[in-house]
């Protein structure tokens, strides 16, 4: 087997074909996939029918998997169910905290940057898609966002430490979208604003709706700066919108991209996506100083 990589847009994202995750991948095919993921930021893998076991086994080759957040369906396992359907098959109450929590994925974000050790990659597979359509996922490149900054802005960004908080992004989206336990167990954490990919050497601007401010700046000043950068990074012509087909799986590099969910008929249709999340090397800030992966 051979892995074929074909770019999806001019700037980032590629599709990867020619292999079967379920049948197993040679070490060299696997390396090609990881290199392409680091080069393109988003890798769409069509025609990969997966169950949880196959997805976990493949994801674990990319690095250690996160355990699912407190208060989410599947907490304590290595699987996140991103769905409007509960494990017993009934639809979530659209006004429940869990439904609001999932719907807050409509905000541009990176996964788990609100944890001391953020997510490196995420893998999302389509298990059941809305029959009437909708529920697309959009991506942008934060490496392109960094490149688009002026030299002065890059110099500023290089030394900034951002404060990420899940309670901040959830409550901003809708009051009550986070639970008391989540707020207590997931306090704000510092993250390097600029990440350097150790495989490619390319820098990216690690912004996300979880950012509530920057160290050394007032909250208002920090939010204004962040929101201006976010707006530039997510201009319509920078977006890759993925319309899911059955058996699609996507892996993305959270260090170099942001993504967001889009609406579908949550009360009349069903959408079940399964995510596995690969941890980064560790905290990106230690003792107040930015650290990078070796
Ligand atoms: C995620 C996510 C978007 C979607 O799983 O991390 O943001 O379209 N999903 O479901
Ligand atoms: Mn996400």
Give the atom of ligand 1 at the shortest distance from the alpha carbon of 80: 5
Residue 71, pLDDT above cutoff 90:
no
pLDDT at residue 199, rounded to an integer: 96
Instruction: Pick from 65, 69, 82, 243 the residue to mutate for probing ligand 1's pocket: most ligand atoms within 8 Å of its CB.
Output: 82
Rounded to a whole number of angstroms, the distance between the first and last alpha carbons of the chain is: 32
pLDDT at residue 5, rounded to an integer: 98
And the tokens for 70? 């407190």
Which ligand has the minimum distance to the alpha carbon of residue 103?
1
Cα 126 to Cα 133: distance, rounded to the nearest angstrom: 13
Residue 73, pLDDT above cutoff 70:
no
Give the atom of ligand 1 at the shortest distance from the alpha carbon of 122: 6
What's the whole-model pTM score?
Answer: 0.96
pLDDT at residue 214, rounded to an integer: 98
Nearest to 268, CA basis, from 84, 127, 69, 25: 84
Longest CA pairwise span in the chain (Å): 54
pLDDT at residue 293, rounded to an integer: 86
pLDDT at residue 72, rounded to an integer: 67
What's the pLDDT band for 70 if we cut at 50, 70, 90?
A: low
Cα 109 to Cα 260: distance, rounded to the nearest angstrom: 6
pLDDT tens-digit series, residues 90-148? 999 999 998 999 999 999 999 999 999 999 999 999 999 999 999 999 999 999 999 99
pLDDT tens-digit series, residues 139-186? 999 999 999 999 999 999 999 999 999 999 999 999 999 999 989 999
| Burial annotation 188-217 (CB, 10 A radius, 16+ → b, else e) | bbbbbbbbebeeeebbbbbbbbbbbbbeee
| Burial annotation 234-254 (CB, 10 A radius, 16+ → b, else e) | beeebbbebebeeebbbbbbb
Distances (CA, A) of 87 to 55, 68, 102, 122, 226: 18, 15, 15, 21, 37
Can you tell me the mean pLDDT for 232-253?
98
More confident: 98 or 197: 197
What does the chain come to in residues?
294
CA atoms within 13 A on the CB side of 76: 1
And the tokens for 252? 């993305």
pLDDT at residue 141, rounded to an integer: 98
Can you tell me the mean pLDDT for 38-58?
97
List ligand 1's pocket residues with C-beta within 6 A: 82, 105, 111, 122, 124, 137, 259, 261, 273, 275
User: What is the CATH code of the structural domain delimited by 4-290?
Assistant: 3.60.130.10
């Amino acid at each position: 087997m051979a892995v074929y990589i074909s770019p999806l847009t001019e700037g980032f994202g590629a599709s990867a074909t020619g292999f079967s995750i379920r049948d197993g991948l040679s070490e060299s095919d696997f390396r090609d996939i990881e290199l392409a993921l680091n080069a393109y930021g988003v890798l769409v893998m069509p025609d990969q029918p997966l169950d949880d076991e196959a997805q976990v086994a493949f994801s674990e080759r990319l690095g250690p998997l996160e355990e699912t957040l407190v208060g989410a369906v599947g907490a304590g396992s290595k699987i996140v169910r991103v769905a409007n359907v509960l494990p017993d098959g009934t639809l979530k109450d659209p006004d429940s905290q869990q439904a609001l929590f999932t719907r807050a994925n409509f905000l541009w974000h990176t996964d788990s940057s609100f944890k001391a050790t953020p997510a490196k990659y995420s893998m999302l597979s389509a298990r059941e898609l809305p029959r009437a359509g909708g529920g697309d996922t959009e991506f942008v490149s934060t490496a392109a966002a960094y490149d688009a900054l002026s030299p002065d802005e890059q110099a500023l960004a290089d030394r900034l430490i951002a404060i990420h908080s899940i309670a901040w992004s959830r409550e901003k989206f809708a009051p009550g979208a986070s639970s008391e336990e989540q707020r207590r167990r997931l306090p704000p954490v510092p993250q390097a604003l600029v990440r350097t990919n150790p495989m490619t050497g390319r820098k990216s601007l690690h912004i996300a709706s979880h950012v509530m401010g920057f160290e050394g700046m007032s909250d208002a000043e920090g939010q204004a700066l962040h929101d201006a950068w976010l707006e530039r990074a997510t201009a319509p012509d920078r977006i890759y919108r993925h319309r899911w087909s059955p058996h699609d799986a996507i892996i993305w590099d959270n260090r170099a991209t942001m993504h967001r969910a889009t609406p579908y008929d949550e009360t009349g249709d069903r959408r079940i996506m399964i995510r596995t999340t690969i941890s980064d090397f560790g905290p990106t800030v230690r003792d107040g100083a930015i650290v990078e992966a070796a």
